[in-house]
Homo-oligomer: A and B are copies of this chain.
Amino acid sequence: MATELKDLTKRETNYSQWYNELVVKADLAEQSAVRGCMVIKPYGYAIWEKMQRALDDMFKATGVQNAYFPLLIPKSFLSREADHVEGFAKECAVVTHYRLKTAGDGSGVVVDPDARLEEELIIRPTSETIIWNTYRNWINSYRDLPLLVNQWANVMRWEMRTRMFLRTAEFLWQEGHTAHATSEEAQAKAMEMINVYADFAKRYMAMPVLMGVKTANERFAGAVETYTIEAMMQDGKALQSGTSHFLGQNFAKAFDVKFINRENVLEYVWATSWGVSTRLMGALIMTHSDDNGLVLPPQLAPIQVVIVPIYKNAEQLSGIDAVVKPVVDRLKAMGISVKYDNADNKRPGFKFADYELKGVPVRLVLGPKDIANGTIEVMRRDTLEKETVPFKGIEDRVKALLDDIQQSLYDKALTLRETKTVKVDTWDDFKAQLELGGFILAHWDGTTETEEKIKEETKATIRCIPLDSVPEEGTCIYSGRPSHRRVIFARNY
């Protein structure tokens, strides 16, 4: 592990390679035998489980319940909503047969041509169609509304270029699908959920995000409005981290879902959908980690504190064991996840490097001299600062330190974003600034044509129109036409 760490590419040398290596070296995930699909390893999955638990509690607090809908979607469902099929039919896994048989030459198994499906089935790229087809039978009257349902599921999009966590053919996510009696209520729900995501990003991931509205061009296929949270990675690129869509009556119309309203009139139902995925793992890694490995915010760290003993013989170790065990018990009682690593088959130096690579927020080290002096060494992973402190009261110090690390990580990421967010007013400045990375606040004329030309020429996209943006008159950096507010441009993952 220590040797693996030495091999970790530095961020400034090649940020992208640093990321790819770190995902593997920190035991988070690896490529599988299936193109574009990854294996999420136990350490990576433990972080995802913590994300899931926190998000799930937050969803339930808003009245959402979980359910489960089929993995496979009849091909014809995709065509029902015109925009939706455009967005998703291009890149999906298609099931055409339901049986294999032994090859004639005994060499293995082949697809049985007699077991062809009448209608092909698609592995869900997202579930609006199958869910709205189901809702038709669940909704009759305004009394059945709102319907607030979420599912945790795997989905597939046959991406040509994949990167672990950031863009994989199969990924894990949650997708909420709500149904409402009024447009206002649905819009409010879409807004509520993007706020839940932003709150989660801040409190758990220690990741500041910009909340905003997507342009028509960047909207979810089938949505009337898409809200997004956008985070800035350390290289200045944007990462879309979660979206919430107001779907209007598009899917209700496509699947004929009507209800009797309070005035006894039959009306189409209003909808939202919203999701975050294992992509958040990529966002987490790229927001905080450094050239020594992962840096995890305490709220999502599977191990928050590791204690490593320094000893020369069994007698010394048993002395340390006796002193440490009550500390472990007290930390656990405080709800802190702690690992006492007194394994004898690895040297302390190896352990140090390994826990650094894994991003454990706090490390405690204790030897016979510390016991004699009543001290203990504390290291915080985010700054790598070491300090020798009194042993007595170490639990409270650890607790305070974890809180401090959580806050510091957020502050540091926020400072980076603020430093790397600049206003630009000319096309030349725009192109020059893009090379430096970061978010650019610039005027845009509001047309898809301009947006696409800017993307073609610079690879920069409009990440969002920030929700908190202030009206400001100006001229579009590209077309020179009038503009009424600045939008956020950036290159993105």
A interface, CB within 8 angstroms of B: 30, 32-34, 37-42, 45-46, 48-49, 65-79, 85, 89-102, 108-109, 111, 120-123, 130, 133-134, 137, 143, 149, 153-154, 156, 158, 170, 172, 345
Contact = CB atoms under 8 A, between A and B. Distances in A.
Contacts of A98: 91-94, 158
A164 B41 CA distance: 32
Per DSSP, chain A at the interface is mixed
Contacts of A37: 70-72
A133 B158 CA distance: 22
Contacts of A77: 33
Given A71-B154, A100-B94, A109 B89 contact: yes
B42 A108 contact: no
A90 B154 CA distance: 24
A102 to B, nearest CB: 8
B70 A170 contact: yes
A158 B98 CA distance: 6
Question: Which of A30, A72, A133 has the most C-beta atoms of chain B within 10 angstroms of its own C-beta?
Answer: A72
A250 to B, nearest CB: 17
Given A33-B70, A39-B134, 17 more contacts: A30-B134, A30-B137, A32-B70, A32-B134, A33-B74, A34-B72, A37-B72, A38-B70, A39-B67, A72-B170, A89-B102, A93-B98, A94-B96, A94-B97, A94-B111, A100-B122, A154-B154
Nearest to A56: B49
A63 to B, nearest CB: 11
Contacts of A108: 75-76, 79
Contacts of A172: 68
Given A76-B108, A111-B96, A158-B98, A45 B68 contact: yes
Nearest to A80: B108
B96 A34 contact: no
A102 B41 CA distance: 39
A252 to B, nearest CB: 17
A109 B109 CA distance: 29
Contacts of A122: 100
Contacts of A68: 39-40, 45, 48, 172
Contacts of A123: 71, 95, 123
A24 to B, nearest CB: 11
